[in-house]
């Protein structure tokens, strides 16, 4: 039976899912977490490895000559040296579009945290604020309607397009900047715009583009200066799309209203992160993708990818 090493099993399955389907066709070794210096030794002479965020480099591939398959438990596969894998005839697969619903939902959870202030009101009520109030309804802080606001979307992939549909349901005006504006259906009611227009026109700007050399630090001092002072920035894509130093300055000077993010430039979060503790920032720990239903879907495709490779017809290959 072929041997498989799962390098960071906890990320997908903290204990509420089953690995049984994978184990039906493989002898599996599971590590909840793996440090970079442990990777080569743990892979050893295994023929297949499955990883979420543990990098597999050319050096590791050289130390593990029996390796023939790398399954990435995510859509992004920048942790794998794909060119090195290709040269060594190692198949690399990923799982596209599994988290669309969950991430789109999380985008609006972050937006509504700013616009409806439900958490702050609930906390104040828990602390006795309503008991002390002489009025049946009191205004702790202003709330804002989404209706009629302009939602700007950077990127029009599966998540960006789903976010647009939810925005339409709220009665928002949708604009989008994408490398392929021709893919936006005319009947969608979404207006393609330039990058400069995206930043200057959006009441809420949400990022859904991959991290590339072109998009790294796309949100910077110059683009932030184009934004409205009451604009909200949302990031559920990748942390390095945002220049956090420039963003910190913009937030502290109230150049924009706020920032809601599920991702940071360095993860896990560092104690020195400049966004930590700012009153107009909401940070969640890279969990937008992680509802149980989403992880079940991810597990299913991981197993399907592995089975397809075993059968000699690999699917979802990244090259």
CA distance 81 to 59: 10
The CB density around residue 308, as the number of other CB atoms within 10 Å, is 16
CA distance 26 to 277: 46
| Contact in structure between 52 and 78 (CB atoms under 8 Å) | no
| Contact in structure between 59 and 81 (CB atoms under 8 Å) | no
286 is catalytic: yes
| Contact in structure between 110 and 282 (CB atoms under 8 Å) | yes
Of 208, 286, 295, 297, which is the active-site residue?
Answer: 286
The arrangement of strands across the sheet holding 232-235 comes to 191-192, 173-177, 150-154, 204-207, 232-235, 258-261, 281-283
CA distance 237 to 312: 33
CA distance 165 to 100: 12
Question: How much of the chain is in helix, strand and coil states, percent to nearest 5?
Answer: 35, 15, 45
| Contact in structure between 177 and 197 (CB atoms under 8 Å) | yes
CA distance 30 to 36: 16
**Beta-carbon contacts of residue 68 (< 8 Å; ≥ 6 apart):** 47, 48, 89, 90, 91
37 is catalytic: no
| Contact in structure between 116 and 143 (CB atoms under 8 Å) | yes
| Contact in structure between 200 and 175 (CB atoms under 8 Å) | no
CA distance 191 to 177: 9
88 DSSP 8-state letter = T
Beta-bridge partner residues of 264: none
Of 162, 208, 238, 282, which is the active-site residue?
Answer: 238
313 is catalytic: no
Catalytic residues: 238, 267, 286
């Amino acid at each position: 039976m072929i041997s498989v090493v799962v390098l960071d099993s906890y990320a997908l399955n903290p204990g509420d899912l089953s690995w049984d389907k994978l184990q039906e066709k493989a002898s599996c070794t599971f590590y909840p977490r793996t440090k970079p210096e442990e990777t080569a030794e743990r892979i050893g002479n295994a023929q297949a490895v499955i990883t979420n965020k543990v990098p597999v480099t050319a050096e590791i591939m050289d130390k593990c000559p029996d390796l023939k398959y790398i399954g990435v438990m995510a859509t992004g596969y920048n942790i794998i040296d794909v060119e090195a894998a290709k040269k060594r005839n190692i198949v690399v697969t990923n799982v596209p579009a599994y988290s669309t619903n969950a991430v789109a939902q999380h985008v609006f959870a972050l937006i509504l945290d700013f616009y409806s202030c439900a958490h702050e009101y609930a906390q104040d009520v828990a602390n006795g604020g309503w008991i002390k109030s002489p009025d049946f309804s009191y205004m702790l802080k202003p709330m804002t309607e989404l209706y009629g606001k302009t939602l700007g979307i950077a990127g029009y992939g599966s998540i960006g397009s789903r976010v647009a549909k939810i925005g339409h349901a709220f009665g928002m005006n949708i604009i989008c900047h994408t490398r392929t504006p021709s893919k936006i259906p005319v009947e969608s009611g979404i207006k393609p715009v330039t990058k400069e227009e995206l930043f200057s026109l959006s009441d809420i700007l949400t990022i859904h583009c991959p991290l590339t050399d072109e998009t790294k630090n796309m949100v910077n001092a110059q683009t932030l200066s184009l934004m409205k002072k009451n604009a909200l920035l949302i990031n559920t894509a990748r942390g390095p799309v945002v220049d956090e130093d420039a963003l910190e300055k913009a937030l502290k000077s109230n150049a924009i209203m706020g920032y809601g993010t599920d991702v940071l430039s360095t993860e896990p979060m560092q104690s020195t992160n400049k966004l930590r503790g700012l009153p107009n920032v909401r940070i969640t720990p890279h969990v937008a993708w992680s509802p149980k239903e989403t992880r079940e879907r991810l597990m299913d495709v991981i197993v399907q990818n592995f089975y397809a490779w075993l059968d000699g017809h690999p699917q979802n290959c990244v090259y």
